[in-house]
Amino acid sequence: MTAVNETHALGLRSWVASANAEHTDFPIQNLPFGVFRRRGSGERFRGGVAIGDQILDLAATVASGVLDGAAREAAIAASREQLNEFMAMGPSAWSALRLALSRILRDGAAERGRVEGCLVGQHAVEHALPAAIGDYTDFYIGIHHATAVGRLFRPDAPLLPNYKWVPIGYHGRSSSVVVSGEPIYRPLGQRKGLAEVPDFGPSERVDYELELGFLVGTGNPRGEGIPIENAESHLFGVALFNDWSARDIQPWEYQPLGPFLSKNFGSTLAPWVVTLEALAPFRSPYRRPAGDADPLPYLDAAENSANGLIDIQLEVLLQTKKMAYSGLGPERLSRSSFVEAAYWTPAQLVAHHTIGGCNLAPGDLLGSGTLSGPAITQAGSLIERTFGGRDPISLPSDEKRTYLEDGDTVVFRAWCERNEARRIGFGECAGTVLAPKRI
């Protein structure tokens, strides 16, 4: 658990003017990490930090000579093509670099003259995944989602008996996790309708899942679980994540071993990872609903309970091709909240994942599962939002949607705001569904 420190001060302002705009996602209190290069430049990808509408190029910052000591060492590691080496350095290195960057980017910083040339406009870049994701695990901590979807798949038993004991998770496909903006090709697969024989074709029920992705910083040796008290120190940060799903393929394939082709055609991770340290002012207590038993001891910790969740607001927007042609911007479909959605905390996910001896590695991705609130306007997926496709959404383009059509772009946004703290945001996680490349 990271403490609130000088980098969070509400009054801090940056000499990068756009970082002081009221609604920027990236004020100086945020400083999220990502990987970028100038679009079309053929440059190598390298680490950067978002500040206002700019990116601070960490390789250039190291070269400018304004960093020293632990911050410089950390910045060198964060200048690589992916952030894994930096993630592996642990909280003290992350914190040292964040503090140094906060100081050189502040109003009045003596280093301004040397650092100004290290900025690259965000409009001019393309991103790669922030880390090489060795393994990707998807959890299922959204209890309203689990209940709503469970009702569609298993009307008699929407929430299974293990749900409140086991932070349910499963292994996902790493190779098809792509960075925001990459196209998502509609998958082909088997569907089973009422006929005796399954049919085959492009999925007709492509859906999104509104998730947060927790990126592992330091790992653990195989056979040595991470106690819940230390669990958060192994997490580097949080990014928006879309676990695209094919709802017609899923019910036919998922028994008995879980979803496979209904998920592995693609998952989208946002380019910016907001560090747990930046999220320190927005922590929330973890409380299980009245009447629910305490978790087993390996999932229980006083510290975790006091400050286990993070007060993150989430929203889903949709822009169809027709909307874009008509000059209509993305339309909000839902608003949700991590605190309201989550039955388990990030620390519990780390403790559970490793309790059997499974080894995590720097850059591993832990998806939260779909983060729906209890109301229909808080649904984190279309299967929930449209009651299993029965209640279409009307769009300002006079179109209707149950599931996604080719050309539809889904955008997730998220932010934290509290009276005593500067609002910070997560940038966008966006993807457009395209027709299959081959049929």
Does position 387 interact with a second copy (CB under 8 A)? The reply is no
Residues within window 208-237 making contact with a second copy, judged by CB under 8 A: 222-225
Instruction: Report the alpha-carbon distance of residue 423 to residue 322 in Å, rounded.
Output: 33
Question: Residues 99, 328, 358, 421: which binds a second copy (CB under 8 A)?
Answer: 358
State which H helix or E strand residue 382 sits in. helix 382-385
Q: Is 244 in the site for a second copy (CB under 8 A)?
A: no
Q: Which stretch binds a second copy (CB under 8 A): 44-52, 115-123, 290-298, 325-333?
A: 290-298
Contacting a second copy (CB under 8 A), which of 42, 256, 289, 291?
A: 256
State the binding string over 107-136 for a second copy (x if CB under 8 A, else -): ---------------------------xx-
- The reply on whether position 363 binds a second copy by CB under 8 A is no
Residue 88 touches a second copy, criterion: CB under 8 A: no
Q: Which is nearer to a second copy, 108 or 356 (CB)?
A: 356
Residue 49 CA to residue 32 CA, distance in Å, equals 6
198: left (phi over 0), alpha (psi -120 to 50) or beta: beta
296 binds a second copy (CB under 8 A): yes
* CB neighbours of residue 164 within 10 Å: 16
Q: Of the listed pieces 111-119, 245-253, 275-283, 383-391, which binds a second copy according to CB under 8 A?
A: 245-253
Q: Do the Cβ atoms of 216 and 354 come closer than 8 Å?
A: no
Which two structure tokens, joined as six digits, stand for 133? 């994701």
- Which burial class, exposed, middle or buried, applies to 9 when counting CB atoms under 10 A from its CB (0-12, 13-18, 19+)? middle
Query: Which pair of structure tokens corresponds to residue 146?
Result: 């689990």
Question: Are 13 and 106 in contact, with CB atoms under 8 Å apart?
Answer: yes
Residue of 6, 120, 136 lying closest to 56 (CA atoms): 120
Give min distance, CB of 135 to a second copy, in A. 5
Nearest-5° Cα angle at 385, 384 to 387 = 60
Hey, what amino acid is at 434? L
Query: 327: Cβ–Cβ under 8 A, 6 or more apart, which residues?
Result: none
Instruction: Verify binding: residue 356, a second copy, rule CB under 8 A.
Output: yes
- Strands 424-434 and 184-185, sheet pairing: parallel
d(CA 385, CA 39): 36
Q: What are phi and psi of 147, to 5 degrees?
A: -70, -45
Binding status of residue 437 toward a second copy by CB under 8 A: yes
Minimum CB–partner distance for residue 18 and a second copy (Å): 34
Q: Which of 8, 144, 145, 352 is catalytic?
A: 145
> What does R_g of the chain's alpha carbons equal in angstroms?
21
145 is catalytic: yes
Residue numbers 139-198 binding a second copy by CB under 8 A: 140, 150, 153-154, 160-162, 165-166, 168-176, 178, 183, 185, 187-190, 192, 197-198
Report how many residues bind a second copy under the rule CB under 8 A: 70
- Residue whose CB is less far from a second copy, 20 or 264: 264
Near a second copy by CB under 8 A: residue from 72, 81, 252, 321: 252
Q: For residue 46, what are the β-bridge partners?
A: 36
Our finding on whether 298 is near a second copy (CB under 8 A) is: yes
254 binding a second copy? (CB under 8 A): yes
* Segment interacting with a second copy, rule: CB under 8 A, options 61-69, 229-237, 325-333, 350-358: 350-358
407 makes contact with a second copy (CB under 8 A) = no
Nearer to a second copy (CB atom), residue 154 or residue 418: 154
Residue 99 interacts with a second copy (CB under 8 A): yes or no: no
Residues, the chain, total? Answer: 439
H-helix or E-strand spanning residue 251:
helix 250-253
Q: Please, what is the end-to-end C-alpha distance for the chain in angstroms?
A: 49
Residues that bind a second copy (CB under 8 A): 134-135, 138, 140, 150, 153-154, 160-162, 165-166, 168-176, 178, 183, 185, 187-190, 192, 197-198, 200, 203, 222-225, 246, 249, 252-262, 264-266, 293, 296-298, 352-353, 355-361, 364, 436-438
